[in-house]
Amino acid sequence: MNIPTWILLAFAGWTLLILFSTVGVYRWSRILTGRATISEWQAGQPQGSDWYQRAMAAHRNCIENLPVFAAIVIAINHFELHSPVLDSLAIGVLVARIPQSLIHICLVQSDRVATWRFIFFFAQIIAMIWMGIYIVLKIA
């Protein structure tokens, strides 16, 4: 298995880890202690603490970007491309994804914090665009 595919699996694992270790723990701790019922959790309604809202946003951001990265990795595998450039960019996506998520979840959002979060997000986007361009240039 190539590095971009391993990174895709790690990205999916990170997405699930955020879901279960933040959103899941928060919800189930409230349900099991009688502070909330299962039916109280409604999609699209702001609920829970500020931390919980940030965790939800971090998870949503993973969900939004995972399919884009998956499409790129599918193209890499379909065209049987192997390159240290693609490997490095794929690693860069995950290396930027993790601190972006952690900054979102762990820190109260200020202009400075949001700037750092955006820097890590932007690094992922640039890496994915670069990967896409690389693929197109190699198959053209």
Crossing angle (nearest 10°) for helices 3-18 and 50-78: 160
Confidence of residue 129 (pLDDT cuts 50, 70, 90): very high
How many Å apart are CA 31 and CA 40, to the nearest integer? Answer: 9
Verdict on whether the full-model pTM lies above 0.85: yes
State the pLDDT confidence band at 2, using cuts at 50, 70 and 90. Answer: very high
Question: Whole-number mean pLDDT of the chain?
Answer: 95
Q: CATH number of 3-139: 2.130.10.10, 3.40.50.970, 3.40.50.720, 1.20.120.550? A: 1.20.120.550
Backbone angles phi, psi at 47, to 5 degrees: -140, 160
pLDDT (tens digit per residue) in 78-92: 999 999 999 999 999
Q: How confident is the model at residue 102 (pLDDT cuts 50, 70, 90)?
A: very high
* pLDDT reported for residue 46: 80
Mean pLDDT within 7-22: 97
Flag whether pLDDT at 44 surpasses 80: no
**Would you kindly state where each structural domain of the chain is located, as residue ranges?**
3-139
